[in-house]
């Protein structure tokens, strides 16, 4: 009886930590975006965005007032394309992915490096949608700070 219970517990434990195919695909879309950014490859980069996708950043001015900045995805893609491979390197320390049907969110703490030098850190929150069987980034909002950034 003990053997059966241990085997059953082991199977439950393994399945609890296994990633679903959708979670793997969500992570792959995000990874592809950052790989495209690192390589300055706009074809790879823009392929992961849904039509009408948005990019926002929380910004704090010198007086500590917080605002939300909007950037058009086409401008974001163009700015990545103007860089040399390796200039932009955003490294994620974790993924927390939640999925319901064709909607997913991913919380990803990061450290951003520019030309090999640590620039800033924060958290990205991605909203992804499953369109025609593929996960696409619909929205990104991020925080950015200079202090408390651990090397990755």
pLDDT > 90? residue 18: no
Domain that holds residue 104: 19-142
Q: From residue 72, give the alpha-carbon distance in Å to each of 4, 85, 119.
A: 56, 22, 22
> How high is the pLDDT of residue 86?
97
Q: Which residue has the higher pLDDT, 53 or 11?
A: 53
Whether 90 is covered by a domain: the verdict is yes
Domain at 61, CATH number:
3.10.450.50
| 20 within 8 A of 99, measured Cβ to Cβ | yes
Whether 49 is covered by a domain: the verdict is yes
Whether 13 is covered by a domain: the verdict is no
> How high is the pLDDT of residue 17?
58
pLDDT > 80? residue 147: yes
Across the chain, the runs of DSSP E, i.e. the strands, are 49-60, 66-72, 88-92, 96-100, 103-114, 117-131, 134-142
Whether 8 is covered by a domain: the verdict is no
Q: How far apart are the first and last CA of the chain?
A: 46
**63 class by beta-carbon count within 10 Å (0-12 exposed, 13-18 middle, 19+ buried):** exposed
Whether 69 is covered by a domain: the verdict is yes
Number of domains within the chain? 1
């Amino acid at each position: 009886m003990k053997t059966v219970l241990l085997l059953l517990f082991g199977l439950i434990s393994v399945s609890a930590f296994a990633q679903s195919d959708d979670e793997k695909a969500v992570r792959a879309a995000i990874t592809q975006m950052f790989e495209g950014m690192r390589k300055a490859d706009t074809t790879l980069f823009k392929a992961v965005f849904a039509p009408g996708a948005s990019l926002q950043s929380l910004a704090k001015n010198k007086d500590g007032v917080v605002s939300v900045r909007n950037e058009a995805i086409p401008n974001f893609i163009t700015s990545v394309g103007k860089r040399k491979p390796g200039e932009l390197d955003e490294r994620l320390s974790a993924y927390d992915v939640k999925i319901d049907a064709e909607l997913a969110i991913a919380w990803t703490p990061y450290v951003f490096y520019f030309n090999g030098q640590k620039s800033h850190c924060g958290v990205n929150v991605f909203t992804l949608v499953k369109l025609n069987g593929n996960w696409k980034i619909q929205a990104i909002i991020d925080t950015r700070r200079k202090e408390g950034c651990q090397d990755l």
